[in-house]
């Protein structure tokens, strides 16, 4: 079981009953707007394409900056390794209007961007959710972009008035790229990261507001020219059933969002990085949370901060998937061969398909329980308690005696 030899490289497609469609939405082209990738149950179209996994070469430059390697070399290597992969979804496929779908907002980790967790997002969408993977603009993404209006001048060189957004076309807009910003040595890291996590929380709320408007049938001005008919989504989201998920810095974002935005009913934090959060964050969250940890990432102070969220009245659960590393959650683990994967910490000792499957099933069972879904995800309830192959309840980190009760 422990070896990934049985699968060829590629992002796994969803196992649920729904075919998954995908679009990108950028509304309000400015840096204040929302930028996200939407995964949703779709209607099959005969002629369809799959989007590239890394949509623009600028993301390679951003990854190079994040990894502190030369852009030229990294661009070449990454393009060679990952450039040909596409995502197993139907791009711009029609939305399947069929009852009401619960909603998940997904927040990426440090150095990532909106497409990097597609395996998780696709699986959850295939089970009958709409999933919005936010691309954060707090400079924690490898790269991201927005648009500025080109200043237009007449023949005398006077500036002309800018048309309203509804009449702006892409050729009147100029792309602006934002790359990963490392914090400077000697600078205090906490204020820097804390500021970022608050912006990330706001961006998750903004994504929820955008989807609320779409659900009301309010017209969306999407910067990207797509065929997608947003009116098909009207009244198709169950906005009483909204969860938030995220990995690493995205796990911190889950907690920040749950502390501020009451419309999120529960959270799933994958290998949460607790450092960016205030010490009293546990006093401000009244929602159920599932922490899913990898075996190799966690350390004592991080775990103790998670354990402050223990509660006798609100369900807080922590499980650890053995054989996993921090990078067992993003897609790189499925797209990298064994040797390079182990060398760069992109693969653990467990087959990545088994690991992500455990994580997804535990997440689905937890969301069913706390969003009140009428599905069969409760068949995986045991995973929430850390019962099963490759998982343990609580943490593998040795705790001081007073804290050794696992998060049950």
344 torsion bin: left (phi>0), alpha (psi -120 to 50), beta (else): alpha
Rounded to 5 degrees, what angle do the CA atoms 377, 118, 19 make? Answer: 60
pLDDT at 163: 52
Where do the structural domains in the chain lie, given as residue ranges? 4-51+86-403
| Residue 310: active-site member | no
Q: Which residues of the chain have pLDDT under 70?
A: 1-7, 152-170, 403-408
pLDDT at 1: 37
pLDDT at 94: 96
Exposed/middle/buried for residue 155 (C-beta within 10 Å: 0-12, 13-18, 19+)? exposed
Task: Write down the catalytic residue from 29, 108, 282, 326.
Answer: 326
| Residue 247: active-site member | no
pLDDT at 160: 56
Exposed/middle/buried for residue 371 (C-beta within 10 Å: 0-12, 13-18, 19+)? buried
pLDDT at 339: 77
Task: Write down the catalytic residue from 34, 107, 126, 248.
Answer: 248
pLDDT at 257: 98
pLDDT at 71: 86
User: Which letter, b or e, does each residue of 386-395 get, where b requires 16 or more Cβ atoms within 10 Å of its Cβ?
Assistant: beeebbbebb
What would the two tokens of residue 294 be? 């990898």
| Residue 98: active-site member | no
pLDDT at 42: 97
Task: Write down the catalytic residue from 24, 271, 351, 357.
Answer: 271
Return the residue matching tokens 């001081």. 400
In CATH, the number for domain 4-51+86-403 is 3.40.50.1820
What would the two tokens of residue 236 be? 């198709």
């Amino acid at each position: 079981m422990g070896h990934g030899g049985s699968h060829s490289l590629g992002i796994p497609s969803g196992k649920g009953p729904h075919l998954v469609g995908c679009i990108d939405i950028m509304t309000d082209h400015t840096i204040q707007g929302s930028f996200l990738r939407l995964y949703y149950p779709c209607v099959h179209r005969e002629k369809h394409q799959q989007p590239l996994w890394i949509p623009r070469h600028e993301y390679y430059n951003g990854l190079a900056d994040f990894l502190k390697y030369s852009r030229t070399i990294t661009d070449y290597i990454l393009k060679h390794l990952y450039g040909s992969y596409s995502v197993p979804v139907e791009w711009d496929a029609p939305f399947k209007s069929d009852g009401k779908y619960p909603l998940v907002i997904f927040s990426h980790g440090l150095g990532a961007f909106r497409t990097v967790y597609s395996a998780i997002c696709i699986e959850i969408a295939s089970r009958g959710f709409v999933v919005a993977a936010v691309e954060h603009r707090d400079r924690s993404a490898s790269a991201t972009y927005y648009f500025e209006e080109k200043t237009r001048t007449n023949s005398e060189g006077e500036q002309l008035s800018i048309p309203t957004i509804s009449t702006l076309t892409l050729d009147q807009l100029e792309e602006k790229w934002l790359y990963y910003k490392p914090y400077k040595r000697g600078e205090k890291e906490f204020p820097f990261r804390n500021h970022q996590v608050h912006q990330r929380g706001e961006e998750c709320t903004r994504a929820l507001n955008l989807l609320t408007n779409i659900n009301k049938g309010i017209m969306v001005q999407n910067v990207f020219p797509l065929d997608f008919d947003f009116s098909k989504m009207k009244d198709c989201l169950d906005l009483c059933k909204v969860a938030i998920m995220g990995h690493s810095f995205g796990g911190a974002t889950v907690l920040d969002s749950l502390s501020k935005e009451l419309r999120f009913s529960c959270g799933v934090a994958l290998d949460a990085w607790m450092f960016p959060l205030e010490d009293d964050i546990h006093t401000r969250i009244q929602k159920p949370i599932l922490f899913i940890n990898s075996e190799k990432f966690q350390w004592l102070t991080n775990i103790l901060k998670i354990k402050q969220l223990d509660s006798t009245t609100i369900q807080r659960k922590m499980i650890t998937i053995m054989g996993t590393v921090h990078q067992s959650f993003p897609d790189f683990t499925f797209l990298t061969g064994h040797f390079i994967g182990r060398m760069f910490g992109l693969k653990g000792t467990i087959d990545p398909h088994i690991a992500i499957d455990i994580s997804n099933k535990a997440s689905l069972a937890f969301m069913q329980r706390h969003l009140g879904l009428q599905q069969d995800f409760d068949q995986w309830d045991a995973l929430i308690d850390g019962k099963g192959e490759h998982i343990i309840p609580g943490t593998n980190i040795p705790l001081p005696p007073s804290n050794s009760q696992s998060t049950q």
